Amino acid sequence: MRRKVRETALQVLFQMDLRKKTLSEILSVFQIPLNWKDDDRNFFLSLVRGVEQNLPEIERIISAYSLEWPVYRMPTIDRNLLRMAIFEMFYLSDISIGVTINEAVELAKKYSTNDSGKFINGILGKLAKSSQIEFKSLGVNKGK
């Protein structure tokens, strides 16, 4: 179910990015599926709100690890997958890095270009390797 929640969060983030709208503007016309449990709804809201609230820091991280591809030149899906995955990696301590990267790669393969899975995996893999020390210093126990 978490993959479906991530897919839905990606759709909302995509709309925010493409239409240049705030989360509240998008959510005013978006219906969270009625069959979602509270945990699913909370995870969804955590992802989309977290990306929106931490966007400047997330963009800084993407820029630092994607030297050859400025954020504005990335396909919209890839950019938003990276935003969501980086939010998970740095702000959601209950999800392992490996799960986050795998989910982002699978969504890239499904919704973006043929090369997007490799691109997403490369950026997030570099980030994960260099960030283990940073996670530890923050007191976050993120498993590989």
pLDDT of residue 136: 46
CATH numbers and ranges of domains, the chain: 2-137 (1.10.940.10)
Secondary structure string (H, E, C) spanning 8-73: HHHHHHHHHHHHCCCHHHHHCCCCCCCCCCHHHHHHHHHHHHHHHHCHHHHHHHHHHHCCCCCHHH
Helix axes 55-65, 116-137, angle to 10 degrees: 110
Spatial distance between the Cα atoms of 70 and 141, rounded to a whole number of angstroms: 30
Q: Model confidence over 81-136: pLDDT tens digits?
A: 999 999 999 999 889 999 999 999 999 999 999 899 999 999 999 999 887 645 44
Q: What local confidence, expressed as pLDDT, does residue 42 receive? A: 97
Higher pLDDT, 143 or 9: 9
pLDDT of residue 67: 82
Whether the per-residue pLDDT at 137 is higher than 50: the answer is no
Higher-confidence residue: 72 or 47? 47
pLDDT digits (tens, 9 = 90+) for 19-36: 999 999 999 999 889 899
pTM: 0.89
Name which residue leads in pLDDT, 49 or 68. Answer: 49
What pLDDT is stored for residue 132 in this prediction?
61
Residue type, 75: P
Statement: residue 72 has pLDDT above 60: yes
